Structure 1
Amino acid sequence: MPKDPRSHRLEGRLTVLHRKLSHFYAVSEAVERALVELCTREVRFERQQAIVEAGEAYQAVYLLAEGWVTRFKLLPTGDRQIINFALPGDFVCFNATLFSKADHFLTAKTPVRAYAIEKNPFGKLLALDPALAVALTWANAHEEALLAERLASLGRRTARERVAHLFCELWRRLHLIELTDNDRFPLPITQEDLADTLGLSAVHVNRTLRQLRNEGLIELGTNHVRVLSMRGLEQAAGFEDGYLHFTEVGQLR
């Protein structure tokens, strides 16, 4: 099918977002134009650099173009609970349009390139452009779905199911934006990060990863995972991807 020429400007600057939206939403010329006009100020964050801290005033909404961002809470004990990982094509600080201060921390897990969008113009544009509001609301609705699944993992899933489910979820999200390589997906996070995401100890995570590897489901590399059997990994996790609401994601078997 020939490529719609109207997508050229959007893809040129916001390729990953276009990939993500196009699986759900026919990006109109008006939405394309609005997004291009919004995303003019490029910013970069170094690895481990704070984007916003809990209690700080939001400065902007950010659209990730490259890199991973960790969303997390710090408990009074100093323990960390990772909420999830924001990937290219995701917005962070989206709540800046509604709330003045952040209630969690956002830190660059890898070097990050993003577009900073001033929160007041962003909010006004959403109010004036219903089509853009629908597109971006869908793009951010995954946040709630991801949180619901994480809660189910923390409350009811075994360690094996938690790790397998997170890997299935990350593969789906990365595949949608064309950042998987056949049966491999990038994983620039540590076992401690996995532990803080899944409510496990680092020792338990290590044991579980070894179990999945011994079962012939995954192969661990440097900053990546190779999925040897997606069907087997899905079965281990009890994974169903309907909560992600992706309509045209190819299946790996």
Structure 2
Amino acid sequence: MSAAIDVHRASALGDIPHGFLGRRGGVSQGMHAGLNVGPGSDDEAEAVAENRRRAREAVLPGARLVTLYQVHSADAVTIVEPFEERLRPRADALVTDRPGLLLGILTADCAPVLFADPQAGVIGAAHAGWKGAIGGVTDSTIAAMEMLGAQRDRIAAAIGPCIARASYEVDDGFLQRFCAEDPENERFFAAGRPGHHQFDLEAYVAHRLASAGIRQVELLGLDTYADADRFFSYRRATHRGEPDYGRQISLIGLA
């Protein structure tokens, strides 16, 4: 994949340097072909490092990239300086008010969410898979941003490429878990084949953001599963019987 890097931006985030990147423009080959940035994949370490460099330069040249050891939690951490790769915190959201840092979230169907309060100079990024989303990872991100001086009525958020409802089949147990949390969550599920449903992760995350008082929420509406040329997808790789999968990255920083 020799195409230029795809950088999807959200108007809600204004001039804050950011981008939801896909798989185009990287050096990885085979099943990881393109801009695979996942150190946890079976890809060559040198290729992943080069892809991460390219991703950084496409969004905020010269910045210091900071990522996490993501574990599908609701935990958010505040970043004041970069740390060694082997010392990455086990968490699923990060916030900062420090210029020159580029916050990165890796996904392969889960929803990446980028946040900004430009007036306060505070940004955040969250990895919202279904576990983190229902657990409150976006709420934790907002709270951590407020600790740095952000105000939630000024925070804008954007939800990047993730698996869409048409591609996300779940079973009755999954539906029941969400409805036990709130019966009104049933509206995020459409009827599927017997005993199954289609879950709208993007809409659910947007609902969580709006319920938390975020007034500006932008949905990019990009389906990672359905567009193999542009995005990596864990579920698509699983359905194809592939032994591994790549990860794309979503980035936000302060110049």
The structure in which a higher percent of residues are helix is 1
The structure in which a higher percent of residues are strand is 2
Structure with bigger gyration radius = 1
User: TM-score, structure 2 length as denominator?
Assistant: 0.28
Greater RCO (Cα-Cα under 8 Å, separation 6 or more): 2
